[in-house]
Amino acid sequence: MFTGIIQEIGHVSDIHGEGDGINLRIDAPRSAPDLQINESVAVNGVCLTVVGRNETSFQVQAVEETLLKSSLRHLHPGDPVNLELPVSLHQRLGGHVVLGHVDRVGIVRRIEPRSTSWMFWVEYPTDMKKYLIPVGSIAIDGVSLTVATIDRDCVGISIIPHTMENTIFRYYKPGSVVNLEFDIIGKYIIQFMELKPTENDGTKDFLTEKHLRELGF
């Protein structure tokens, strides 16, 4: 599990194919010493398993399904990437609950400089709009962010100078492809609300006045 607080900007030093997947070597002198083989690490918001490491870099594999759903297939040697190590039980949850399970990719459509910040407009698949609420949470390339506003097919995100300086947001331009992970709590609530009990499965619609009274509410 992650919280969307980026700990280092790493750089892809090597990419080579493995079947229909890829193997990535990432230079990360701050993060690599804290990683062990078989542990997880979030690379641009994608949870991957460490398969090799030394004191300044580590290797991860991205299989077919990961490449299909994320922007990792667009990476090239030299590209910067956001890195986050998994949260431990003694850490503060500084962002929100991020699993590293990317839902879809989005596209940066425009960037509006403001006096003390930047507004990024990111196009998202419209069938995912139900998981967005104003001032709710979204992870973009692994960065925990607050939804500032929602347009018909774009979400507006206000980026402060600290985030711009310490993540790869500073490298984005219109057309950049980014990984999107929508709030896991919202996804579970929506699925729960959309489940329709059948007459034969022995379940009841939990959120009805009648059932809540039966439970003593």
Digit-by-digit pLDDT tens for the chain (217 residues) are 999 999 999 999 999 998 899 999 999 999 999 999 999 999 999 999 999 999 999 999 999 999 999 999 999 999 999 999 999 877 777 889 999 999 999 999 999 999 999 999 999 999 999 999 999 999 999 999 999 999 989 999 999 999 999 999 999 999 999 999 999 998 988 888 887 655 555 555 556 677 677 777 7
Question: What residues contact 48, with CB distance under 8 A and at least 6 apart?
Answer: 24, 40, 41, 42, 60, 61, 62, 66, 100
Instruction: Please state whether 128 falls in left (phi above 0), alpha (psi between -120 and 50) or beta.
Output: alpha
Query: Across the strands, what pairs with 122?
Result: 108, 155
Tell me the pTM. Answer: 0.88
